[in-house]
Amino acid sequence: MAPPASRLAAALLLAWLSLAELLVSSAHALPRPGDPHRPLILPLSKAPRDSSSSSSSRERDHHRRRLLGSELPRSPSARMRLYDDLLSNGYYTTRLAIGTPPQEFALIVDTGSTVTYVPCSNCQRCGKHQDPRFQPQLSSTYQPVKCNAHCSCDAARKQCTYQRRYAEMSSSTGMLGNDLVSFGNESELTPQRAVFGCEIVETGDLFSQRADGIMGLGRGYLSIVNQLVEKHVIDNSFSLCYGGMGMGGGAMILGSIVPPTGMVFSHSDPHRSPYYNIELKEIHVAGEPLKLTPSIFDGRHGTVLDSGTTFAYLPAKAFLAFRDAVTENVRSLRKIPGPDPKFQDVCFAGAGWDISRLSEVFPKVDMVFGDKQKLSLSPENYLFKHTKVPGAYCLGIFQNENDETTLLGGILVRNMLVTYDREKNKLGFWKTNCSELWKRLQDTGSPTPAPLVPQKHNNTSAISPSIAPSGLTPNSFPVEFRVGIITFNMSFSIKSSSGKPNFTEFEELIAHELGVSTSQVHLLKFTSSGNQFLVELAIFPADSADYFSNTTAMSIITRLRDHHVQLPERFGSYQLVEWKIEPQKKRTWWQRNYLAVAAVASVALLLTLTSIALWFVWKNNWQQSGVYKPVGVVIPEQELPPL
């Protein structure tokens, strides 16, 4: 449950988005070449994180843009990754390039926005983001969108403008331009001209976020999807696949795909609202339907799917019924306060560390659509990790106060391929391993079904001691292979000119990001040129171990490989140059037993010194007590000293 003010912000979002949609319409007639439809596959990538706490993600939820969103594509496709993690960063990003030569940007993937925009070089008020601002003067293909009857114009009535306001009153204002948009080096689709926004002013979270801008995937003339469809280069469909709990990453597919076997569909009515809605009729917990009427999910804007919202929000009555049903099914767990006292989170302790076994503790949840199709949700689709209590989890579904809309955010579709089939007005859902989807696309060109837990391979071949970051690591190591050291090189640019960064703090940050102890992280060397630094670090096994367990090694390597290491903004942008793993080195008898030998030698030395000291004391006492005078010897008379 969240504060009423936050819920009011959610209620206001739809009004703001609807008003903004009326203010801006298509400002440029897009050509319609007769190219065959070709889907565009974009990997979803995880953006540098602003905060690791789930409560901050929820605050971004209340104060961010909210909409009110077994086989490969049938045609050649362009592929790009999704970066970042929904709960850690509050959003997913993908990389797009604009202009000639291309200028690259990290853009938040948002099905609730209808404009794609980036900061402009002449921006009057823009925050510090991940990449340099767009410089129109450096692009030979850039064209301003001239003022016309179909757009709002600037004061001089020379160029079209746009404006977007969001629930928390953050906003983006700028000029509309037209340029070539590129979708990555692996794209089989040539760069396409598209209208986009060049920001002049941004406020609120748009100003403070690390991502450069927004990639609008909503229903609207300026949506990047609409523009590509109008140009007949993709079919009227796209898909998103978000990584699971603690994993991040994923893929985005612009264009149609053949629905995998078992994909569950729901009708989406484009005339009801400009948002991607579904027909939700019932929610079941542990096989039992909640005692609710179907109309409760049909209030105001109905049930809306929004990729830009982190959590899910139900009308009050539905939320209370869901909360009570889940609580009733986890009586063996202990209820505890949430990680942030500002929110009345519903949290449970004692579930354990193993995410793959949460379904043994928490109940299965089913969503039933209008045509009786049932979508089954695992615990990762409605829980988030407690950030302060290990092995504890909290409900990621909250009460939508002061609004009868049912809003389903990204948490509900983790490890789920979601197809937005705009041509047939339906949304499809297919449970899969989204973190592995990109690998399957690369290996086979087809999102073949994959288990949510990576399969183990009976691979007995030797593993190369050096694996390039562009290579894909195996899901598991051969049993006989033991990882002794993990080293990697990282380049970054600090934003201050105060000299070299605090490397002790840097090691602590890396340790936190990789989930290891600070004592395991060692800075081997670094070089610098101005504010640019290249560092080499090594991750060693814990003090009590000679090598990493396969689980720990894979966790570290996955975080490095998928760029899950997120540094504070003061370190600027970073790049993982290379990394490698080294097998456990066989130690000599001396290396294995030097501590025991040192301990025995220390004890022996201490005993020897103690014995010598005791001998000297005994000898001195014996000499003093053994000096006697013979009987009858004259003793010289001694005078008394004067008083």
CA distances from 610 to 4, 95, 278, 602, 620 (A): 75, 71, 84, 12, 16
Cis peptide preceding 101, ω within 30 of 0: yes
Residues that are catalytic: 110, 306
d(CA 619, CA 641): 34
User: H helices of 173-281, where?
Assistant: 205-208, 224-230
**Is residue 47 a contact partner of residue 440, using CB atoms and an 8 Å limit?**
no
In degrees and rounded to multiples of 5, residue 215 shows phi and psi of -105, 105
Which residues does residue 399 pair with via DSSP β-bridges, in sequence order? 314
Instruction: Provide the 3-class DSSP secondary structure of residue 198.
Output: strand
Which residues are CB-neighbours of 605 under 8 A, at least 6 positions away?
none
d(CA 27, CA 222): 8
* Sheet-wide strand order for 347-349: 334-336, 347-349, 393-395, 383-385
Please count the other Cβ atoms lying within 10 Å of the Cβ belonging to residue 573: 17
Looking up tokens 């909360």 gives: 323
User: H helices of 359-459, where?
Assistant: 434-444
Among 77, 242, 39, 89, which residue's Cα sits nearest to residue 567?
89
Among 201, 212, 204, which residue's Cα sits nearest to residue 130?
212
d(CA 71, CA 48): 31
